[in-house]
């Protein structure tokens, strides 16, 4: 489209304190760590605080969160953290944000609040913020912001979009949504969305996850029919894996199991937590007698059991992966078991899922995955035609696609032009870009950005690990480690004996003895030359690295991490005798 070149074309070089500024710390150009901020004068509101799960290149990393430096510096301005729904990519970063930033009030739906409270308890932060329960009739008001909420349909209960009134105009944020005309949970509030469109929305921020997928997404009721058919026809034990956060799907599975006389065994900590909270709040309707403990699985006939577990994405430590490799304490695959994947692999997880499927099949299980023949999963995000419907209902003057990788944002922008939004009124932003809403007009600031680096969470360390640490881990994974032990006498500046080299993960020791002996000689000569003049321990260590790195690369085309160890023996004569 010729109009594509006009995206981001409305710019200004400076903004005023009275302008309304919109920016993201996470969620643009990626799927995850959604954190959107709106600032006006001395007030900031934050919409969601999520995490992103690491890919295979981030070795040892548990989560990725945004850099909260800007919020830390301006925490006195923060008036509220508003949560659209309870998925990890929208609430998972809350404990890490609260550890570094003082936020007194969190506004969330009843179900999201239950998940957040559980998360804060695990981090021993229950009293760090007050969680206010919201519904579609709730209102949040501060000096510069007036915010209302509206129902949207998603794969988790109690999901809301936000309508935000600022001194410079109206902003509507859809959150994650889809339009399902026969939903399992509550319906989207079409009337309120349409009314706001008639009232006048200046800027629409809308979910872009499925902007590449044509048509309308299938309904959850269609998935329910497929699950019912499997429950009815399967003669043996059924093991179903799905996302623990997809409460509507879990309700369908539990309802179908009860309908066909099967006891439900829930396995996986996150699944257990979500099922318990959803039952407490009435989103999952089942009696205690419908569930059994894993220790009682052998007490029931196979055709009377349904195991509900985590691991639909092939996660190594999830319940289904441990079942597939035979390491689960309570569940062992019996030939004839039917294993159902009620999900689609997230991009990047296909090989892990295929590995689990193959292991299960080898053990004699019948494995069912989502396909044209089995409607075992549907998305919680709007497909292209649903995105068009949202744009038609809201009729925004300006549009910013959000929640998606760059290609998703770009295709959503193209869709907006198809339904009549002028290309020069569309902004494809990256994390840290600043949109300025001034007197009902939107511009991109082309001279200033917010700092938005990724912060990597490793274990319980909430401070984040440095990029250099990740680079070292990558080098260790690919090239291994070499430790060089050199013994010297610093009094007379001499090297006392031949260096000793120990390697791990670099070369096969038995086949590399000659290489290591030659490397020891290279180090010996280099250190001896260095110590012929006045030097320091640091210079000796650098000398060892500088001599070995090119030598190892020339022989192996690999660059291991080299760790020099200097032993300083003052009594050199005694060492030589020993």
Active-site annotation holds for 132: no
List alpha helices for 241-376, DSSP H.
247-259, 269-280, 319-324, 350-362
Determine the Cα–Cα distance for residues 525 and 551; give it in Å rounded to an integer: 13
List alpha helices for 168-292, DSSP H.
190-199, 220-233, 247-259, 269-280
Q: Which of 144, 168, 153 is nearest to 41 (CA)?
A: 144
Say which DSSP state 70 is in. Answer: H
Task: Say if residues 26 and 65 touch (Cβ distance below 8 Å).
Answer: yes
User: By three-state DSSP, how is residue 248 classified?
Assistant: helix
- Compute the Cα dihedral for 414, 46, 446, 422 and give only its sign: positive
Task: Say if residues 411 and 426 touch (Cβ distance below 8 Å).
Answer: no
Q: For residue 214, which phi and psi values (nearest 5 degrees)?
A: -75, 165
Determine the Cα–Cα distance for residues 48 and 44; give it in Å rounded to an integer: 13
Record the tokens describing residue 406, joined without a space. Answer: 């760059």
Among residues 180, 207, 337, 458, the one annotated as catalytic is 207
Residues 6+ apart with CB under 8 A from 510: none
Among residues 283, 377, 381, 412, the one annotated as catalytic is 381
- 524 by Cβ neighbours in 10 Å (0-12 / 13-18 / 19+) ranks as middle
Active-site annotation holds for 381: yes
**Residues involved in catalysis:** 207, 381
């Amino acid at each position: 489209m010729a109009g594509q070149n006009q995206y981001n074309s409305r710019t200004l070089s400076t903004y005023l304190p009275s302008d309304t500024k919109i920016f993201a710390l996470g969620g643009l150009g990626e799927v995850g760590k959604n954190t959107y901020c709106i600032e006006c004068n001395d007030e900031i509101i934050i919409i969601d605080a999520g995490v992103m799960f690491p890919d295979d290149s981030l070795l040892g990393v548990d989560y990725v969160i945004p850099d909260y430096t800007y919020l830390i510096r301006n925490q006195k301005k923060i008036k509220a953290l508003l949560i659209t729904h309870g998925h990890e990519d929208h609430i998972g970063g809350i404990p890490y944000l609260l550890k570094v930033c003082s936020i007194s009030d969190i506004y969330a739906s009843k179900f999201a609040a239950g998940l957040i409270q559980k998360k804060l308890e695990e981090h021993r932060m229950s009293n760090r913020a007050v969680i206010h329960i919201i519904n579609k009739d709730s209102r949040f008001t501060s000096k510069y912001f007036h915010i209302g909420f509206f129902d949207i349909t998603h794969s988790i209960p109690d999901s809301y979009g936000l309508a935000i009134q600022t001194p410079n105009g109206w902003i509507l944020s859809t959150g994650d949504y889809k339009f399902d005309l026969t939903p399992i949970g509550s319906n989207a509030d079409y009337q309120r969305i349409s009314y706001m469109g008639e009232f006048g929305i200046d800027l629409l921020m809308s979910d872009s996850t499925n902007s590449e997928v044509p048509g309308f997404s299938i309904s959850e009721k269609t998935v329910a029919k497929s699950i019912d058919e499997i429950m009815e026809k399967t003669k043996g034990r059924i093991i179903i894996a799905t996302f623990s956060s997809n409460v509507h799907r879990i309700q369908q599975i539990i309802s179908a199991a009860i309908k066909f006389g099967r006891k439900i065994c829930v396995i996986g900590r996150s699944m257990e937590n979500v099922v318990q909270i959803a039952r407490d709040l009435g989103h999952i309707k089942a009696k205690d007698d419908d569930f059994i403990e894993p220790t009682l699985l052998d007490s029931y006939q196979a055709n009377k059991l349904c195991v509900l577990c985590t691991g639909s994405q092939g996660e190594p430590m999830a319940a289904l992966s441990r079942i597939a490799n035979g390491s689960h304490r309570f569940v062992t695959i019996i030939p004839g078991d039917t294993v159902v994947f009620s999900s689609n692999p997230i991009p990047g997880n296909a090989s892990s899922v295929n590995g689990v499927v193959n292991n299960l099949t080898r053990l004699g299980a019948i494995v069912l995955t989502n396909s044209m023949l089995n409607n075992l999963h549907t998305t919680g995000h709007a497909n292209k035609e649903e995105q068009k419907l949202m744009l038609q209902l809201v009729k925004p003057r300006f549009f910013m696609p959000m929640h998606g990788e760059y290609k998703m944002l770009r295709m959503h922008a193209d869709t907006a032009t198809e339904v009549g939004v002028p290309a020069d009124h569309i902004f494809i932003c990256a994390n840290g870009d600043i949109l300025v809403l001034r007197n009902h007009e939107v511009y991109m600031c082309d001279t200033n950005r917010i700092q938005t680096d990724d912060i990597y969470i490793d274990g319980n360390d909430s401070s984040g690990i440095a990029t250099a640490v990740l680079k070292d881990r990558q080098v260790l994974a690919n090239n291994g480690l070499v430790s060089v032990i050199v013994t010297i006498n610093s009094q007379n500046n001499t090297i006392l004996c031949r260096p000793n080299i120990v390697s791990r993960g670099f070369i096969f020791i038995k086949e590399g003895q000659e290489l290591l002996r030659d490397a020891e000689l290279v180090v010996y000569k280099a250190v001896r030359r260095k110590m012929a003049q006045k030097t320091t321990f640091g210079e000796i260590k650098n000398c060892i690295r500088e001599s070995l790195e090119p030598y190892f690369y020339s022989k192996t085309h690999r660059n291991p991490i080299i760790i020099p160890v200097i032993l300083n023996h003052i009594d050199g004569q005694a060492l030589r005798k020993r």
